[in-house]
Chain A
Amino acid sequence: MTSFRMLEINLTTGSSTTTDISALFAEYLGGTGVATRLLLDSPSDIDPYAPEAPIYFAIGPFSSVLPVATKTVALFKSPLTGNLGESHAGGRLALAMYGAGIHVLKITGACTELSYLVIHDDKITIRRATSLKNMSALATERVLREREDSQSKRSIVRIGPAGERRSPMAAVTVDGSRHFGRMGLGGVMGSKNLKAFVISGSHYWTIENKAKYNALYKKLYDVVVKSETMHKYHDLGTAMNVVPLNQINGLPTRNFSQGYFESAHQISGETFADKHLAQQTACAHCPTGCIHIATLRECFDVDDHHFKTFKVSYDHELIYALGSNLSIQNAEDILKLLLIIEKQGWDAISMGVTLAWACEAFQHGLITPKHTDGLIFNFGDAFGLEKAMQHIAAGKNEFFRDLERGASYCAAKYGGTEFAVAFGKTEAAGYATGPFAFLGYATGTRHSHLDSAGYSIDQKAISKPKPDEDLVKDMYKEAVWRMIPASLVICFFARNVYTKEVIVEGLDALGIPGWNDTRLDALAKRIHAMKFRYKLNCGFRWEDLTFPKRLEQLTTSMGQVTCMRFGENIARFRQIVETDLQQLSL
């Protein structure tokens, strides 16, 4: 029943092979564990855009089997950071990969012309599709959904024009409005001339132990649907964070110059829900429904009463990146900016933070109208920033082309490194809660707030202070444990549903023996260390994890954070990881 296969497709040769990798799943569970192990076997000194650079999409043993195991993890060499690239996306991809009978999809090589890939069960087709060139990520789905019909549930995974331009902040869009947002996977797909893939199939596992499986399923379903555990994600979604974060001075505002946004209530989760929320939708096999879809109705011809209405999803990170951090003060303007981002296929956080850097660079005279062809960059100027995005999309000049290479790149070229708010070249997420949010961005294996939830450690430390030594250990522990849900590729929103006990129970119900708390902990530590091994192999250096000076001037929820404190905590975290690396045998 529980066999696991990897489909490997070489776009250069058009060949494909399927391999049974059940042994790898037995050792590394699945998802990020298996994909990290596989990535470690690929050359690390490779150009992320080289045809031979692999992309791994992986799911886990719970995918399409238990509720809320909805994500797919992608591992690749990041063109943004030059080392480990990892991103997670929901939608229907996990269901479709399971349906196609594969738990890992490896893509290497490059098509000679823009193409897309169709995978249905064991049939693989590569189609030339230069007619899709420059097509938006949204339109591409509409076209391929009609073109590639299937009896089974499909997932349509594609890039927008930003990916075709090989932007290192290009995202990959999955189905309605889910994304492999961070670290430039869109650019990697673009470098392979792979506009999209459509995947579906009719494979399934049969239920061996019906009583055990059904009892566990019902228990999990009830917790997800009926308990408070997941309620907030369905209610206002993560956008509910906007006001509480603002109240504790933790909402990044005007390029992290302060943690309080005077117009927070106008862009809050409550405001979006009251004015724009059309409905919540869900990833396949998640009864929560955390995807918040907004509508915006606009008149485009007053005389004739002509209206248009568009839909776009929103959450806390998007509201921060395109709202408070750019001083955009109303929900409507945020939605308009998000629509351009969706069409182009950029990572919203990276684009927002880079534009925030540009606004400040303009104030400092590092960027002038000569660079911008007369466009003035101002915080709060939604119209101007919309224009800027259009110029970036059009590749209007060198400066605009540079903007889609990220804040670190731009700051290195034009100046302003002190206010380019990126860690390990990855633009920061939307929490200015204190030292551990920043430490988490820096020490996370994918430089994400999701790596170790430093923002949560900060907030707990406000009410229950602890020495930094202890908080670093707490952060490390959280970072390590998250390797397990990421290997099962559970949505992190359900991390408290899937306790160790539940995970062991789930594996047992599927007839996957031999797992217990101790073994899970050991594997988590091993995968975490493997990721650092890969990063170091790629040239990652702890010394490069610098603290943007801007953040020293910021008063966070936990007060001011010094560069020295940041450095000391990096050293503490590094020491723990280096001990793990010494014990890592591969």
Chain B
Amino acid sequence: MVKHLRVAQREQCIGCYSCMYSCSRTWSNVMSPEKAALRVRNYSGAEGAFSIRACFGCTDPDCVKPCPTQAVTVKSGGGIEFHADKCIHCGKCVTACIPKAHQWDAEKRVPIPCRHCGICVSFCPNCVLEMQPREELKGAGA
């Protein structure tokens, strides 16, 4: 059964970025949170106000349509696939994602697709993130 990443308990986030580090470590082989396919955003003054932007695994994603070269395509079951050889680095896919869940690699100037692999879930200390079966997806996340 296809599972997708979901922000299940946003309010339980402590802002440690362990999820971001795990994603960067696993898929980009770097020690940094900045290559992650999801982002924990925090806001000034109100400690604890974290918003987690993770790919929704849309079946009809906003980020696919504006891509002029089909470098970003819909994945069977939801989410996207990224074809690096076709990318012209325009960033339109990332801009089109309304909740800013689709992240951008500023160094390589390419989008960072979420594989919905669940590594971030296994490194979340407070059960903020979950892998949920497609048909049971609940909550808008963020």
Contacts and interface: CB of A to CB of B under 8 A. Distances in A.
A285 B21 contact: yes
B76 interface: no
Contacts of B11: 279
Given A67-B18, A99-B34, A202-B106, A311 B47 contact: yes
B21 to A, nearest CB: 6
Contact of B34 (A146, A204, A210): A204
Given A177-B47, A311-B46, A202 B16 contact: no
A190 interface: no
Nearest to A313: B47
A458 interface: no
B16 A286 contact: yes
B16 A289 contact: yes
A207 B29 contact: yes
Interface of A is mostly: mixed
Contacts, number: 98
Contact of B31 (A152, A207, A281, A284): A207
Interface residues of B, number: 29
Given A204-B31, A210-B29, A289-B126, A284 B16 contact: yes
Q: Which of B11, B15, B106 has the most CB of A within 10 A?
A: B15
Contacts of A213: 31
A206 B106 contact: no
Given A151-B106, A281-B14, A293 B48 contact: yes
Given A204-B30, A204-B32, A278 B48 contact: yes
A542 interface: no
Contacts of A138: 45
A161 B11 CA distance: 33
Nearest to B17: A284
B33 interface: yes
Contact of A285 (B17, B34, B106): B17
A203 B17 CA distance: 17
A142 B45 contact: yes
A204 B45 contact: no
B48 A311 contact: yes
Interface in A417-461: none
Interface in B17-32: 17-18, 21, 24-25, 29-32
Interface string A190-225: 000000000000111111001001100100010001
Q: Which of A67, A221, A282 has the most CB of B within 10 A?
A: A282
Interface string B122-133: 010110000000
A283 B32 CA distance: 15
B107 interface: yes
B17 to A, nearest CB: 5
B6 interface: no
B44 A289 contact: no
Contacts of A279: 11, 14, 48
A495 B30 CA distance: 25
Contact of A206 (B30, B125, B126): B30
B19 to A, nearest CB: 10
Interface in B85-128: 104, 106-107, 123, 125-126
B53 interface: no
A207 B123 CA distance: 18
A206 B107 CA distance: 14
B52 to A, nearest CB: 14
A291 B47 contact: yes
Nearest to B41: A153
Contact of A287 (B18, B31, B33, B47): B18
Given A205-B30, A291-B47, A313-B47, A217 B18 contact: no
Interface string B31-72: 111110000001111111000000000000000000000000
B126 A207 contact: no
Given A204-B31, A280-B14, A289-B14, A142 B126 contact: no
Contacts of B44: 141-142, 145-146, 156, 176
B47 A293 contact: yes
A221 B126 contact: no
Given A221-B18, A281-B15, A287 B45 contact: no
Contacts of B14: 279-282, 287, 289
A65 interface: yes
Contacts of B29: 206-207, 210
A95 interface: yes
A207 B30 contact: yes
B50 to A, nearest CB: 8
Contact of B33 (A142, A153, A176, A313): A153
Nearest to B12: A279
Interface string A88-109: 0000000100110000000000
A529 B48 CA distance: 41
A241 interface: no
Contact of B47 (A176, A206, A286): A176
B30 A153 contact: no
A242 B47 CA distance: 24
B27 to A, nearest CB: 11
A557 interface: no
Contacts of B24: 204
Contacts of A221: 18, 123
A354 interface: no
Contacts of A313: 47
Interface of A: 64-65, 67, 95, 98-99, 138, 141-142, 145-146, 151-153, 156, 176-177, 202-207, 210, 213-214, 217, 221, 225, 278-289, 291, 293, 311, 313
Interface of B: 11, 14-18, 21, 24-25, 29-35, 42-48, 104, 106-107, 123, 125-126
26 contacts: A95-B17, A98-B32, A138-B45, A141-B44, A142-B44, A145-B43, A152-B106, A202-B107, A204-B32, A207-B30, A213-B31, A221-B18, A278-B48, A279-B11, A281-B14, A281-B47, A281-B48, A282-B16, A283-B16, A284-B16, A285-B16, A285-B17, A287-B14, A287-B16, A288-B16, A311-B46
- Top 8 A-B pairs, shortest CB-CB distance: A204-B32, A289-B14, A282-B16, A287-B125, A176-B47, A145-B44, A282-B14, A204-B30
